[in-house]
Structure 1
Amino acid sequence: MKLIQVRKGQFVYYNNELHKVYSVKPLAKKSVHMFRIKDMEQVDCKADEVSLYKPQHLDSFLFFGSRYTLRDDIAPDEGGYILISKPDPDYMDHYSLNEFEKVESVEGKNVVTTRQNTVKFREFFVMEPGEAQGSKDIAYYDKSKVDASQLEADKELIEKIRERDAIRPSIGDVYLNLDDASTAMVVAISSEDVTLGNGDRLTFHELYKADNWNFLYNVVDGEFR
């Protein structure tokens, strides 16, 4: 019966680390689908393997490699992040529990996010960069079980994420083959493997380090490097 207590958007602890549920599929053997908040790594588990956590004022945690503190006593800034903890969207808005959104503009006590949602001040925490004085670290359920090497790795996490994203291709990326001047588009990505339109299959690292393949542009956004 514990399964019905788990729902999309909840913060939960799994393997001592803070995660967010993005999907619940009751008929699946591992019904709870989550991502680890500190680095967005995805994981599946059973409902009885997680414990619920409700974010609060002055909670501090790692979000995508950077530390933030939740505040309900400061105003949001344009370009900053908010965590929607008490969602009450109007019919034109599209957001739900514990969504991370970036602020595009501040209008009185409301914000308009980059996803064009208008979020009222009572619905969110401001995510203040850094670890505020008096804050509570919630990255781990029990920090005493985390060794020094893991804490040191957390400090270097932002650089690892930047490196990972630098080599991670997207569907629609077009690469130039320097050997024969041909081009090929990324048509499929599965785990760490990339399939090009010419049939070549490489890992992210192989494609990134290849002497003969250079990124050209993406067919969706037209962005050249």
Structure 2
Amino acid sequence: MKLLQVRKGQFVYFKNELHKVYSVKPLAKKSVLMFRVKDMEQFEAKADEVTYYKPKHLDSLMLMGTRYTLREDVGAEAGGFILITKPDPDYTDHYGLNEFEKVESVEGKDVITTRQNTVKSKEFYVMVPGEEPGSNDISYFDKSQVPSEQLEQDANLEEQLREANAIKPSIGDVYLNLDNGSTAMVVAIEQDVVTLGSGEKLTFHALYKSDSWNFLYSLNPGSGEF
């Protein structure tokens, strides 16, 4: 279904793949800003280039390379994920349409997420890992148009993203030098080259594969959220 008015949070198909709108800039030539759900890569498009989709029970999708099935007939579990499709937040909560959230605790049928949002059961689908029997794959608008090579890449996407995230360091990451026992912090990053406090410069891949350097910890740890 083509949209006359796109709004933040909607799921849309763009170039046959499922995306989520994260911002709309009405005055821009390409007003729809979105990310591809399977790998979070960002894109821009005109409103007439996207097709609206409303997720439903037993839809199956890939998020960051991992396959999930949306279920309305199972309970959420701590440590699992939910997709908020009917947001009705209280004034103390901060979430919107089609947000992915991690469950911190369960209170009856409702949940408290790691972002400290209290979400009622009527507002979300539980994201069950894997592709459930009878599910509907919504990763593509028309899967028959997807080359077999692309489907093979999708099958390996989770591992590729895991390695890519592991390879990419951040300023503040601290590494141990296995040769002499010293430590050094990443103090600068320019394109794909990092500079350590010891003065050494290595590419992302060389640092990740190095037999001399081992990641210890980060002074700026991520949240672990989507």
Shifted more, 22-31 versus 131-140: the winner is 22-31
Tell me the distance in 2 between the aligned counterparts of 1:77 and 1:166: 27
1:7 aligns with 2:30: no
Change (3 A) 1:66 1:216: closer
* CA drift at 1:49: 1.5
- Residue of structure 2 in register with 1:48 after alignment: 48
1:106-153 CA deviation, whole Å, 9 max, x = no partner?
A: 101210111111000000001111111221111100011011111111
- Residue of structure 2 in register with 1:183 after alignment: 184
Unaligned runs of 5+ in 1: none
Tell me the distance in 1 between the aligned counterparts of 2:28 and 2:3: 11
Shifted more, 143-152 versus 173-182: the winner is 173-182
1:167-195 CA deviation, whole Å, 9 max, x = no partner?
A: 111232235678996834344576x5656
Maintained 8 Å contact 2:171/2:185: no
Maintained 8 Å contact 2:3/2:51: no
Unaligned runs of 5+ in 2: 222-226
Count of matched residue positions in the alignment of Structure 1 and Structure 2: 219
* CA drift at 1:46: 2.1
Q: Which amino acid aligns with 2:186?
A: M
1:148-171 CA deviation, whole Å, 9 max, x = no partner?
A: 111111111111111111111123
Identity among equivalent pairs (%): 67
Equivalent residue of 1:5, what SS? coil
* Structure-2-length-normalised TM-score: 0.84
Tell me the distance in 2 between the aligned counterparts of 1:152 and 1:68: 18
* CA drift at 1:99: 0.4
Maintained 8 Å contact 1:174/1:186: no
Q: Which amino acid aligns with 2:12?
A: V
* CA drift at 1:217: 3.1
- Residue of structure 2 in register with 1:164 after alignment: 164
- Residue of structure 2 in register with 1:92 after alignment: 92
